Amino acid sequence: MRERLLTTLMCLFFLSSTVPVATATGPSDSIIWGITYDWANLDDDQETMTGVSPMQVFEDLEQAAMIAKFDLEALSVISGNSYIFIEQWEDESTTQIEDGDGDEHTVIVRHTEITLRHGSRNDQGIVTFWEDANSSIDISYRASQDALALFDIVYTEYLTSNLEHIGADMSITGSASQESELGLELDLRGGGESYDADVEFAVSSGISVDSITSEWRALEPIDILHQMSIDGSEFDGCWDICGMVSGDYTVSANYDFSLSGIPTEEIGLSADVLDLSISDTVTSAGAFYENFDTGYFASDRTPACNGLNPQMQADLGTGADVEVQCRQVIPPFSPGLLGMFAISLSSSFTDSSAFEAAAEELAEEIGSITDEVEDDIQDNESSADDIFVCDDGTEIPAYWVNDGEEDCPDGSDEYGTDLDGAEAMIEAWANSDLQSTMSTFMETLEELVSDNVENPVIDMEDACLTTLWDSSESMVVGAAWMQDGYMIVGPEIDGVGDHSVQFGIEYLVGDDARAAQAAASNLENLGDLAPPSQHDARDIDGLVGDEESESGIFVPGVGVLSTLALLGGSALSQRRNE
């Protein structure tokens, strides 16, 4: 019995080693730091920072509308999570590489791995209703946006023992997408006219980077890093010694527009409902070879953090405190990382004529819609020089057409337009109490909102927002947001206590960051990053009436299978009874 138990435990032990565990790709002594944010904290954080509560603004809107004697309800909900982790480490041994001129160098290999995960859902709903004896406006608006970004960037730079750059390699994988939906329900009445519409517009677009690998080799060693520890350092780029960046890519981009509920009578179609959808996915693979430049670099003490010690001991989760400076490093990445990322991404997506065509086509489509609207407006606004020819041949100024008076002898200038109804409606609104209602609303709202504004808890003018610089390694090892000498977001620093105000941002270092990074790496879709269970938009659904049956008469939907089952069941029960 004991042997069997032991064997089972041994097997479990060996099996457990095959189960994927949350491990980072870097070594356990790497410097890793990251930030996570739960978007459910946004309202509270906004209130802390600005002194204005978004929920209170909605309440003010509703109250102002109530005082002005019309209905207005607005709701908004946002949820999701964002994670960004930066891990850096150096190989224990040096290696040999050639620079762009073919000269060989012994180099230190420094790795930077960036893990980015972001997913958010945002819903808004607005419902408003106003009426008087002869007119009414009923508007229901619903919008939602989903955003997703998943990127893994591995940057490997090659440095001489003097921390001069010889070059770097980069690999990028990931995707970014956004999806927006907008629904507008209108029911307008006035002047004996009515107009209603129920239009839904959806647009989604995204890019996917299956893989981009790129390689940069400088023509000669570039000395930027170690000088970044000197106050006031500034570099305009490496210019003619930067060399070239080359790479391969497999990427795709997609878009999908859809419009439903288009009023078909406006475009001469007989159908009741017309839905349109235009979509495309462009995939491209190839190679690029471009001139490279590290671009502008600067480094100086962070002015807003002058009250802090010039050198501070920070706990970066490496076991021993690290000496750091509050240093404003622009950009806060190693020279080459940002430049290579920009060149790799832009080359991959502009190298394909299909992408260019898709972008041009989108611009054209949007332009043509705008032009059509402008043409429609211009068609209805005749200039003084335009001439209208009556049916009997008489010529009259075009702006006399449809002006309410018959100017042609045969009256053919008063044929009416589609805009007549709209004009009658607008005139009815103008003669109603709509204008005074809106004035009352605006005045009340101004009063309510001004009462609502309090002093922000955090005064951003005094904020010390800084990167943390390790001058011995010449690299950014973290970031911090300090206020009045206290830490709001950042690592533990000797002599800097926690601020009484905290935001929804979590700052992680060391093993905590490593575990969170490994967990975040496995979040690969919107459902993981912004779970629907944590996004309660039921109030908005209730507000705009999404849960209601669209058809006027509710008839339960029944499936063929369920009906057949019902038929079969009743036939069997009959047979049994008989």
Positions that interact with another protein (CB under 8 A): 258, 264, 268-282, 354, 357-358, 361, 364-365, 551-552, 555-558, 560, 563-564, 566-567, 570-571, 573-574, 577-578
Shortest spacing between CB 44 and another protein, in angstroms: 43
Shortest spacing between CB 553 and another protein, in angstroms: 9
Shortest spacing between CB 279 and another protein, in angstroms: 6
Closer of 461 and 550 to another protein (Cβ): 550
DSSP H or E stretch at residue 15: helix 2-18
Closer of 453 and 564 to another protein (Cβ): 564
Closer of 104 and 361 to another protein (Cβ): 361
Q: How far apart are CA 505 and CA 466, in angstroms?
A: 16
Closer of 141 and 255 to another protein (Cβ): 255
Tokens (6 digits) for 186:
């209108």
Closer of 360 and 498 to another protein (Cβ): 360
Shortest spacing between CB 264 and another protein, in angstroms: 8
Q: Scanning the structure block, which residue is given the tokens 């993981």?
A: 528
Closer of 442 and 572 to another protein (Cβ): 572
Shortest spacing between CB 348 and another protein, in angstroms: 18
Give the list of residues 6+ apart from residue 426 with CB closer than 8 angstroms, or none. Answer: 190
Amino acid at 292: F
Paired sense of beta strands 463-470 and 165-190, if any: unpaired
Closer of 97 and 259 to another protein (Cβ): 259
Closer of 128 and 284 to another protein (Cβ): 284
- Give the C-alpha distances (Å, rounded to integers) separating 213 from 61, 161, 171, 178, 344: 52, 26, 4, 25, 8
Amino acid at 90: E
Shortest spacing between CB 137 and another protein, in angstroms: 26
DSSP H or E stretch at residue 343: helix 337-350
Q: How far apart are CA 320 and CA 313, in angstroms?
A: 9
Shortest spacing between CB 197 and another protein, in angstroms: 15
HSE-up of 236 (CA within 13 Å, CB side)? 2
Q: Alpha-carbon torsion 163, 167, 173, 176, what sign?
A: positive
Closer of 8 and 573 to another protein (Cβ): 573
Q: DSSP letters along 450-488, please?
A: HHH----SS-GGGEEEEEEEETTTTEEEEEEEEETTEEE
Tokens (6 digits) for 164:
């001069």
Shortest spacing between CB 136 and another protein, in angstroms: 25
- Give the C-alpha distances (Å, rounded to integers) separating 479 from 29, 269, 320, 420, 507: 19, 60, 18, 62, 9
Longest CA–CA span in the chain (Å) reads: 114
Q: How far apart are CA 33 and CA 35, in angstroms?
A: 7
Any idea what DSSP says for residue 498?
B
Within 10 A of 468 (CB to CB), how many other CB atoms are there? 24
Tokens (6 digits) for 100:
């762009």
Q: How far apart are CA 344 and CA 135, in angstroms?
A: 58
Q: How far apart are CA 135 and CA 180, in angstroms?
A: 33
Closer of 133 and 276 to another protein (Cβ): 276
Closer of 11 and 571 to another protein (Cβ): 571
Shortest spacing between CB 567 and another protein, in angstroms: 7
Q: Where are the alpha helices (DSSP H) in 33-151?
A: 42-50, 54-67
Shortest spacing between CB 276 and another protein, in angstroms: 5
Closer of 122 and 252 to another protein (Cβ): 252
Q: Which of 352, 210, 232, 228 lies closest to 294, judged by CA?
A: 228
Shortest spacing between CB 149 and another protein, in angstroms: 24
Q: Which of 352, 345, 20 lies closest to 151, judged by CA?
A: 345
